[in-house]
């Protein structure tokens, strides 16, 4: 009985495997049937001269040009946005305020003595977090 099942299984596997080999042609997808190849073209001649060693380019601010090329430069503001900024007092804001706000010596919010003691605590060589407060 066991030999019969094995023989039937082997015969079925052979019959299924032989289907592709008996047809005579391999059925592979044709990669050119999907899209046509674009014709080769010669690019236009822009008459560009190679750079000369030791000369300076006429680019005054190359970094700003790169940022403008990547991000599109400053966006124009609408009249409503300009009015809103003027009413909020944008002329009264000191230059570089964002740098000052992130300064470690600047206290933007009164955090209180408990929070300040936790923030100023020394690093510990332990996997367990601990905080000691003076009471």
- Domain range summary for the chain, segments of one domain joined by +: 77-102
Residue 68: the pLDDT is 79
Output the pTM of the full model.
Answer: 0.26
pLDDT, one tens digit per residue, over 71-86 is 877 788 899 999 999 9
Residue with token string 């674009």: 38
Q: Is the pLDDT of residue 135 over 60?
A: no
pLDDT reported for residue 80: 94
Q: d(Cα 134, Cα 113) in Å, to the nearest integer?
A: 10
């Amino acid at each position: 009985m066991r030999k019969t099942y094995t023989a039937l299984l082997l015969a079925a596997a052979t019959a299924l495997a032989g289907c592709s080999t008996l047809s005579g042609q391999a059925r592979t997808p044709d990669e050119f049937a999907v899209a046509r190849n674009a014709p080769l073209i010669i690019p236009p001649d822009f008459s560009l001269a190679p750079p000369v060693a030791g000369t300076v380019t006429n680019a005054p601010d190359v970094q700003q040009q790169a940022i403008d090329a990547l991000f599109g430069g400053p966006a124009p503001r609408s009249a409503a946005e300009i009015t809103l900024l003027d009413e909020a007092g944008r002329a009264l804001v000191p230059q570089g305020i964002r740098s000052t706000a992130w300064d470690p010596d600047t206290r933007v919010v009164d955090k209180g003595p408990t929070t300040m003691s936790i923030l100023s605590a020394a690093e510990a060589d332990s996997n367990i977090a601990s905080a000691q407060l003076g009471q």
